[in-house]
A and B are shown apart, each in its own frame.
Chain A
Amino acid sequence: MSARKKVLWILGGVLITVYCLFPIAWIVSLSLKAPGDLNNGGFLPSALTWENYELILSGDASGLFLPALRNSFGICLIATAISCLLAMFAAYAIARLDFPGKKVILSTALVVAIFPIISIVTPLFNLWRNIGLYDTWPGLIIPYLSLTLPISIWTMSAFFREIPWEMEQAAQVDGATSWQAFRRVIVPLAAPGVFTTAIIAFFIAWNDFLYGISLTSTSAARPVPAAIGLFSGESQFVEPTGSIAAAAVIVTIPVVVLVLLFQRRIVAGLTNGAVKG
């Protein structure tokens, strides 16, 4: 019975893994196919070629792709850092303090998060052009904050709420100011929450296409998703499928690396042992 159960479990696991990883495998396979080989009817390329990668990293498309990669990294990291810092203070206040309008702030954050981006992109485009933020890094960082802040506040306030109140009170009795208690006790305890939030915020900014395509026009600030959208084939009748696939693979790498790096920090239950086990 248990042996059969085990087999079933493994079988199920494999099925789900294949189901999840198939699109990625497909993209990788596509990125390794030569343009003429794209429609070979098979999953695997007839012959392995690095042509697509060469094209975007050092060939014709590199002028489009490489600055975009730099922009994406810079803009997303800055947006993530700012949003984490702001969200940390906001979430702490929401989790700990009793002030009028607390509910309003939380629900406003939720409303902002579900507000359709498309409806504000056009006004934002005009505004940005008038005040000189169009096609600049701050011009993307600011709207990215509106995407990342609400979710950051929500996740972090959940984490802060789980830290026992007594931790902080104990620190205060021990002689800490509110700021010292926050910095030396609460922040270290909330570290897993901060990392989780940072990763989520980073992905949201990293994946954005709409702001990226609408609020930029040159490689001064254009992020990767927008740049990929502007890839063109050798002629207007050829789809740039191969180079898009190659770019997609490259863009996926930082995501995978980030998760692998921080997964232990995310999983670690740091509050373990704070109070009676």
Chain B
Amino acid sequence: MASIEMTNIVKKYGDGFPAVNDVSLDIADGEFMILVGPSGCGKSTLLRMIVGLEDITSGDMVIGGKRVNDLAPRDRNLSMVFQNYALYPHMTVFENIAFPLRLAKTPDDEVRRKVNAASDVLELKEHLERKPANLSGGQRQRVAMGRAIVRDAEAFLFDEPLSNLDAKLRGQMRTEISRLQRRLGITTVYVTHDQTEAMTLGDRVCVLRKGKIQQVASPRELYEQPVNLFVAGFIGSPPMNFLPATPEGNRLKTPFGDIELDERRAAAVAGHDLLLVGIRPEYFEDASLVDDAKRPVGSIFRAKVDVTEWLGDSQYAYIPYDAPDSIKAHLRDLSKELDSEELRTQAIVSIDATSRIREGREAEFWLDSRKVHVFDPESGENLTRDAEAGAELTRLATQDRLEHLESARAQQDGASDGQTGARGGATAVGAA
């Protein structure tokens, strides 16, 4: 187990294009770090530089206090789960998991013991003699994980490990990975483009865009205090709505009526002509269903609903709006960068599942103005970000993690003191 420190890492390909550009990132011992971003943002390249499959053009990569820039992958003692699992098809599951141990010339009985332990954790016991070709997708995924956990690696690296599974299995494996990492308390770097995975798994999430780090923070901070338009638009599903706005005193004029800002935010946006106001879908509500107590903290507006989607536990309404051409162009560029194709300017609004608002009719909405963020459309910068509140969120998350880690390690020490029976029981319960 080790920390991973990256300082000014750059990766340039033959044509001089920087796939990773000046990335500095510290991953603490035992931390679960997520690298996330749209395709082509350099997240996989960064991971492959950590493991040594990709040369580092410049910068320092330090793992466990040792500079590893010039070490071959096999000398870095990291283990990795590939997107397509990369199992060895000519070997049985047992030999697949045992492969790293065999290469390290581990004695036979120790190999057997370790592989059996790993297969217990991953419930692969009855498949050990089968070939990967005969396994289901989820089982193959577990074999790949088994190969990673069987030796005492400094860190785990995951390269979109769940993207080949169907949605249901993906959810199950996600919690499984999370549980495993918590229990082993091992430093983990996890690449994904799926933001559900990013939000649920990570202690901290690093959002990349075109090879540059945008923000490194706990999922909560990313969601509530994004640094710029890109992070705000990338994190959250359905995504944040961006409406054109013009400031007037401490009010913002938007297509959905005026939004009143508090002192701090009003001061931050002063001096700009045209702004983008970012409002998450859940900051809206069907006005008729809002408590009288809550009404005064937001504003009420009327709008025509284009489409509604009722999902049982929630409901979304789509409200088209008009925007100046310059804003439209900005939004189109942004959605292209986020791998989506936004054809029209519309707001996605989350309303209560019981709401009677129907398609094609005009309805009254309430908008919670306390949490809106205001962005500069030119630079994309978040003008109203509260850095202190954000840092506090991440500090809390770090504290949680350290407590968790400590208890996991205490448990493991207890188990190695000869309480193998108790640990076996705990495993069975944990797995069930």
Q: Which residues of A line the B interface, CB within 8 A? A: 164, 166-167, 169-177, 180, 185, 188-189, 270-277
Asked whether, in the complex, the Cβ of A169 is within 8 Å of the Cβ of B103, the reply is no
Query: What residues of chain B lie closer than 8 Å to A271, measured between beta carbons?
Result: 89
Contact A175–B134 (Cβ < 8 Å)? no
Chain B contacts of A172 at CB under 8 A? 52-53, 72-74
**Cβ B137 vs Cβ A277 within 8 A:** yes
Contact check: which of B74, B83, B140 meets A173 at CB < 8 Å? B74
Q: Which residues of B contact A170 (CB under 8 A)?
A: 80, 82, 86, 88, 147
Task: Say whether chain B's binding surface is mostly helix, strand, loop, or mixed.
Answer: loop
Contact between A276 and B84, CB atoms less than 8 A apart: yes
Instruction: Report whether A166 and B84 are in contact in the complex, using a CB–CB cutoff of 8 Å.
Output: yes
Q: Is the CB of A174 within 8 A of B99?
A: yes
**Nearest Cβ distance between residue B248 and chain A, in whole angstroms?**
56
Measured CB to CB, the closest approach of chain B to A249, in angstroms, equals 38
By beta carbon, the residue of chain A nearest B82 is A166
Name 5 extra pairs, CB < 8 A, besides A174-B103, A273-B132.
A167-B86, A171-B88, A173-B79, A188-B90, A189-B89
- Which residues of B in the span 100-141 have a Cβ within 8 Å of any Cβ on A? 100, 103-104, 131-135, 137, 140
CB distance from B76 to the nearest CB of A (A): 8
Q: Which residues of A contact B133 (CB under 8 A)?
A: 272-273, 277
Q: Chain A interface secondary structure, helix, strand, loop or mixed?
A: loop
Known contacts A180-B103, A273-B133, A276-B140: A173-B90 contact under CB 8 Å: no
Bound state CA distance, A268 and B151, in angstroms? 33
Distance in angstroms between the alpha carbons of A64 and B85 in the assembled complex: 58
Please tell me if the beta carbons of B89 and A270 are within 8 angstroms of each other in the complex: yes
Tally chain B residues at the interface, Cβ within 8 Å: 33
B90 touching A176 by the CB < 8 A rule?
Answer: no
Q: Can you list 21 residue pairs at the A/B interface with Cβ under 8 Å?
A: A164-B84, A166-B83, A167-B86, A169-B82, A170-B80, A170-B147, A172-B72, A173-B52, A173-B53, A174-B79, A174-B99, A174-B147, A175-B77, A272-B133, A273-B87, A273-B131, A274-B87, A274-B89, A275-B84, A275-B86, A275-B87
Bound together, the chains give a CA A173 to CA B77 distance in angstroms of 8
Give the shortest distance, in Å, between B144 (CB) and chain A (any CB).
8
| B164 contacts partner chain A, Cβ-Cβ < 8 Å | yes
A176 to B74, CA, bound (A): 6
- Tell me the smallest distance from the CB of A269 to a CB of chain B, in Å: 9
**B88 to A274, Cβ gap below 8 A?**
yes
Contacts A169-B73, A185-B88, A188-B90 given; does A276 touch B82 at CB 8 Å = no
B79: chain A residues at CB < 8 Å are: 173-174
Q: In the assembly, what is the distance between CA of A189 and CA of B87, in Å?
A: 12
User: Which of chain B's residues have a CB closer than 8 A to the CB of A177?
Assistant: 72, 74
Is there contact, CB below 8 Å, between B90 and A164?
no
Question: In the complex, A174 Cα to B106 Cα: how many Å?
Answer: 13
Question: Does chain A have a CB within 8 A of B78?
Answer: yes
Residues of A within 8 A of B74 (CB): 172-177
Give the distance to chain B from A177, nearest Cβ to Cβ, in Å. Answer: 7
Mark contacts of B160-177 with chain A using CB atoms, 8 A cut-off: 1 yes-contact digit, 0 otherwise.
000010000000000000
| Interface pair B90/A270, CB less than 8 Å apart | yes
A272 to B87 Cα, complex, angstroms: 10
Taking the closest CB of chain B, its distance from the CB of A67, in whole angstroms, is 41
